[in-house]
Structure 1
Amino acid sequence: MSIKLYGLVGSTATFRAMAALYEKDLEFEFVPVDLASKEQKTPQFLTRNPFGQVPVYEDGDLTLFESRAITKYIAEAYADKGTPLTSKDPKKSAIEAVWSEVEAQKFDPTTSKLGMELVLKPKWGQTTDEAVVSEFEKQLEDLLDVYESRLTKSKYLGGDCFTLVDLHHLPNVFYLMMTKSKRLFDARPHVSAWVSDIVSRPAWIKVASKLQG
């Protein structure tokens, strides 16, 4: 099998790349990386990603790291397969690029911090810092107000079709739906509908099932 994805089940970045592969109906080999033993820092792994992080994507003689770069390649290299994840129209593509930046620069930092406090710390037996949660929930509220306005104009953040923009949100959205921060999404009807839509996609259900597998 020419496509390999090296990563960790449960990792948001790994799940982002995996979701793109499933949306494209591509066969791939998943290669688990043991982060607990620091396998990602071994000399062998560092030849794939010099930063010692997951995921890493291999497709023939091509090796990529950074999950959003991986999904962009998958969307463009396999444009004729599965779900179209990017637009070929320059104006639509530009709008998708704007909201992709919003996800990477605003949504991901805020929700990752909440995920650390509300998901990972309890899992690790550590105490959640409620002051940090309050601070970042306020940031998320402000951001979701913008999302609510945007989603009154189009079904998805990038436009009327599901794209990489929405896909990139999925891992953090999925985890926050298991926490008290879910109420912030539920309180905004268009955001709530968008969340229900994207988390119920067959490709994402396949990804999420890995947590039970």
Structure 2
Amino acid sequence: MVDVWLEVENGHFSSAMSPIIFQTFVVPYFLGGKTDTKIVEENLEKLKTALDVYEARLSKFKYLAGDFVSLADISHVPAAYYLLGGPHASVLDAYPHVKAWIAEVLDRPSVKKVAQLMKMPSA
């Protein structure tokens, strides 16, 4: 089950989050450009489709692969961290199980240490 959710993360969650992160943080803060809101909106819709699947899974299990934390959960940390720290964090409000899962994963001591290295500019 871990392998399945790693594939879902790569093919659906991160593939939607990468353009959002790039447009929200990299373009304005590192490239001095303007965020392409069309790209962001298109990928937010893709993200919502993925989050529907996550919400269904996490309504039955505490973590993606079952009732234990695994690499399937931890692999979501970078994108989830930037999602929560950015202007689109409210997208998670419609997904209470996903929101609680992300909060729990990000609250792990090891993840907090890594997050210290991931500081970002204010959105």
Using the size of structure 2 for normalisation, the TM-score is: 0.91
Q: Distance in 1 between matches of 2:105 and 2:4?
A: 19
Aligned to 1:171, what secondary structure does the other structure show? helix
Return the match for 1:154 from 61, 65, 75.
Answer: 61
Task: State the AA in 2 paired with 1:201.
Answer: R
Return the match for 2:40 from 117, 129, 133.
Answer: 133
Moved over 6 A (4+): none
Match of 2:115 in 1: 208
Q: Could you say which structure has the higher strand fraction?
A: 1
Aligned to 2:76, what secondary structure does the other structure show? helix
Query: Percent sequence identity over matched residues?
Result: 38
Match of 1:169 in 2: 76
* Structure 1 residues 134-159: Cα deviation after superposition (integer angstroms, max 9, x where no partner): 10000001110111001011001111
Q: Distance in 2 between matches of 1:192 and 1:156?
A: 12
Q: Could you say which structure has the higher helix fraction?
A: 2
Q: Distance in 2 between matches of 1:184 and 1:158?
A: 23
CA contact (8 A) 2:2 2:72 kept: yes
CA contact (8 A) 2:9 2:75 kept: yes
Match of 1:53 in 2: none
Return the match for 2:25 from 102, 119, 133.
Answer: 119
Aligned to 1:161, what secondary structure does the other structure show? coil
Match of 2:5 in 1: 99
Q: CA deviation at 1:187?
A: 2.1
127-136 vs 182-191, which moves further = 182-191
* Structure 1 residues 60-94: Cα deviation after superposition (integer angstroms, max 9, x where no partner): xxxxxxxxxxxxxxxxxxxxxxxxxxxxxxxxxxx
- Higher RCO structure (Cα 8 Å, ≥6 apart): 2
Task: State the AA in 1 paired with 2:103.
Answer: S
Q: CA deviation at 1:197?
A: 0.2
Q: Distance in 1 between matches of 2:78 and 2:26?
A: 14
Q: Distance in 2 between matches of 1:100 and 1:143?
A: 13
In angstroms, what is the RMSD of aligned CA positions? 1.1
Q: CA deviation at 1:175?
A: 0.7
Return the match for 1:109 from 15, 21, 30.
Answer: 15
Q: CA deviation at 1:104?
A: 1.3
Larger radius of gyration: 1
Give the unaligned 5+ runs of structure 1.
1-94
CA contact (8 A) 2:12 2:46 kept: no
* Structure 1 residues 39-79: Cα deviation after superposition (integer angstroms, max 9, x where no partner): xxxxxxxxxxxxxxxxxxxxxxxxxxxxxxxxxxxxxxxxx
Q: CA deviation at 1:198?
A: 0.6
Return the match for 2:95 from 163, 175, 188.
Answer: 188
- Aligned CA distance change for structure 1 residues 120 and 139 (closer, same or farther; 3 Å): same
